[in-house]
Amino acid sequence: MNGGVTAPVSPDEASRLRALRSYEILDTPSEAAFDRIVGLAARLLHAPMARLTFVDRDRQWCKAASGGGASSTSRDGGFCARASLGDAPLVVNDAREDPRFSENPEVSGEPHVRFYAGVPLRTPDGHKLGCLCVLDQAPRAVSAEQLGVLESLAGIVMDELELRRNQQILEKQAYAVDAALQEAERNRHLFERIAHTSPEVIYVLELASRKNVYANRNAAALLGYTQEEIEVLGDGLPATIIHPQDLPAVLGHFSEFDTMSDDGYTELTYRVRGVDGEYRWLRARENVFSRYRDKRPKEILGIAADITELKRIEARLAELATTDELTGIANQRAFRERLNQLVAEGERGRAFVLCMVDADHFKRINDTLGHPIGDRVLVHLAAALAREVRRVDQVARYGGEEFAVLLVDVDEATGASLAERLRRAVEAIETPVRVSASFGVAAYSRGMSAAELVEAADGALYAAKQQGRNRVATAVGARATKARARAELPPQPRSPGASDRSAPPPPPRPRQAPPRG
């Protein structure tokens, strides 16, 4: 992004540029890890565009983008060039009103950027290489929590860069070691000196026996073994310390070395159990270390990084993306994903029921007792619903005081019975105010879309509200009640001499949303 305002330069620009080049990231192809982080930033901050940008001497270069964006632009007037100068995130609520960026071509022209929020990518030494940012075509604000999420994702980017750089360094070391060992008839002393000073796990495995020929100190320290114990682990190594879910992939990848060239490698991620019984995640890169005289692979060299903490962060971010912050249950996004999955299974014959739940008189609670009490009611209501369902079912906050419950492998009658149990559980909640809820139940039938099922359950919820609240109504019952009401309507007046066939039909009655509160 370039513009009419010259971007300022860091006081230690030369050192910063050296740090940037040390990662060897500029002008590299797209990589799935960075693409996923950028996509996650766009989704979590509800932004149509997100970018991972590195600031070079005279340009901004985009490594990954979600929603489109130029791959390389001038540094002058650039958002990311300025964002990478400070320690704090840079937030521009309306770029047209900001003299620093109003002349930027991406503000005045496509893609018409108005909002920008970016956090710097900071190395362990404090150098700022670029930024991770989100953009929008409309002015907007960003919360402190959202900036915190963006900063966490920027930290993951730096973790990936550090891991990438370390692996590149270690690969060069490993290849240098391999050449030295071949020339010096496998001089293990040189290899051990290099490997023991490495921050990564390094090991040499004999393919035929799958026995550790060598493992450095970090390999032993990571798992809690002594150096001698880890080096004598033999044929039982995979079965005893590899996670059962990862074992097939670990065992299966050994065949890849049969056709691998000397400069080829394989990558895999798996869990390893330590002496304490805890599993740790490793991301390993392996290549052929030595060959028999007939060129068959004999040993493989592995360089692995401990990515356990990175996995924990990724799992936490995934949980935040699908969990309602107030109640701790699934949010609407998670509900829609599960509903779409069940609709696909329903087309193959699986039965399930959707139950829409609405807290009765909730607006009155908020208006008279205040929102903190209202929030407590919602938390207790969500907990009561979650306690009564099975593991296979799902309780989600649909919005405001409305919840959705997916009951699997039941028909509408059974679903109504289970909903009645949920209703009684809600009624039994002990809070400063009496709590009740209305329930609308609809069963899935083949050919229905997810939206149609939600509409059917919502219609049943409307009927439950109309019938006095604090009760369960089914979609079938709601349709029958509506049919009876129509049958009781007085006949439409007709002009003299007009036949039934010529009489125009009555206008359709617009569908009303269920009364809330």
> DSSP string covering 148-176, please?
HHHHHHHHHHHHHHHHHHHHHHHHHHHHH
Nearest to 308 by CA among 286, 276, 283, 285: 283
- Name the β-bridge partners of 52: 64, 132
Sheet holding 72-74, edge to edge: 72-74, 59-66, 49-55, 128-136, 115-122, 90-92
Two tokens, residue 475: 């979609």
- CB contact at 8 A, 63 and 34: yes
- Name the β-bridge partners of 139: none
Two tokens, residue 203: 């090991």
Q: DSSP H helical segments within 224-361, as ranges?
A: 227-232, 237-241, 247-252, 308-322, 332-346
**Longest alpha-carbon distance in the chain:** 114
Two tokens, residue 180: 């030295």
What are the φ and ψ backbone dihedral angles of 272, each rounded to 5 degrees?
Answer: -125, 135
Angle at 426 between CA 421 and CA 429, to 5 degrees: 130
Label each residue of 412-440 as H, E or C. Answer: HHHHHHHHHHHHHHHHCCCCCCCCCEEEE
Query: How many Cα atoms sit within 13 Å of 241 on the Cβ side?
Result: 21
402 is an active site residue: no
Q: Which of 200, 231, 299, 401 is flagged as catalytic?
A: 401
Two tokens, residue 387: 């306690």
Unique residue bearing structure tokens 């009419």 = 4
Alpha carbon 94 to its chain centroid, in Å, reads: 28
- Name the β-bridge partners of 395: 405
- Work out the burial of residue 336: count CB atoms within 10 Å of its CB; fewer than 13 is exposed, 13-18 middle, 19 or more buried: middle
The helix or strand, by DSSP H or E, that contains position 368, with its residue range, turns out to be helix 362-369
Which amino acid type is present at position 487?
A
- CB contact at 8 A, 424 and 432: no
β strands within 360-485, DSSP E: 394-399, 402-408, 437-443, 472-474
Catalytic positions: 401
